[in-house]
Structure 1
């Protein structure tokens, strides 16, 4: 194991700003819409606002140190996973709708924790490489 300092990966501020702007635009749309549009745009605005709040409360999505990794669970909870419990670290890459999506996958046997570049604030391949170097 290479002795690397602890690291944290967090949601980029630009993503949070985009979610707040999206929620505001949907709320404005809801205020100008009729009955059905008011309901749909209002629900969408609340959903996007909820995601923005989660990003503010749990900005750090993944942290790693010599003892293991800490991941976000639920809305804003945290769960520490010691290195020996992590069975596999890999990058899952899939092409969908004309774009390539990559997810960092941490497999503990019982659970699989998935992170996108939007969760981590940087591409997932370098994050996976850092985690593999930190892992004993």
Structure 2
């Protein structure tokens, strides 16, 4: 990467599309199958959450941005941007472990009292690839 260049990692467009498709299926299933009010409300809340999550993915697609001076991480429901110089970054690593529902690989960025976790569906690349590129930017190699 050339000096002064900015690298961005963003949510692939297929991710919000998949969220919206599942939300619609869940909405239709809830309306047609729900046998009680509690089940119907739960289905509607989950469908709405998925739909809003898809909107966030479209409105704030860039989740991580880096350059020679530092990185910017987007977090929270409204897409709050936090800029950190490389000197403030304590650690960047790949967290790869087996979890209850299978294997999970996340990019972990540790900054002061903040800890960020970003997955492949938020980055549009594997966490290992992003960690390697961030290390290269940080060290200038």
TM-score, structure 1 as length reference: 0.90
Match of 1:9 in 2: 9
Q: Does 1:100 align with 2:110?
A: no
| Corresponding pairs, count | 135
Match of 1:122 in 2: 125
Higher relative contact order (CA 8 A, sep 6+): 1
Residues 72-87 of structure 1: pairs in structure 2 closer than 5 A: 72-75=74-77, 76-87=79-90
Distance in 1, matches of 2:101 and 2:7, equals: 33
The SS at the match of 2:73 is strand
Deviation at 1:4, TM superposition (A): 6.9
The SS at the match of 1:12 is coil
Structure 1 runs, 4 residues or longer, greater than 3 Å off:
none
Q: Can you give the 5+ residue segments of structure 1 that lack an aligned partner in the other structure?
A: none
Match of 2:68 in 1: 66
Aligned-residue CA RMSD (Å): 1.7
Q: Can you give the 5+ residue segments of structure 2 that lack an aligned partner in the other structure?
A: none
Deviation at 1:37, TM superposition (A): 2.8
Match of 1:39 in 2: 41
Residues 47-62 of structure 1: pairs in structure 2 closer than 5 A: 47-62=49-64
Distance in 2, matches of 1:37 and 1:73, equals: 31
Indicate conservation of the 8 Å contact 2:20/2:51, yes or no.
yes
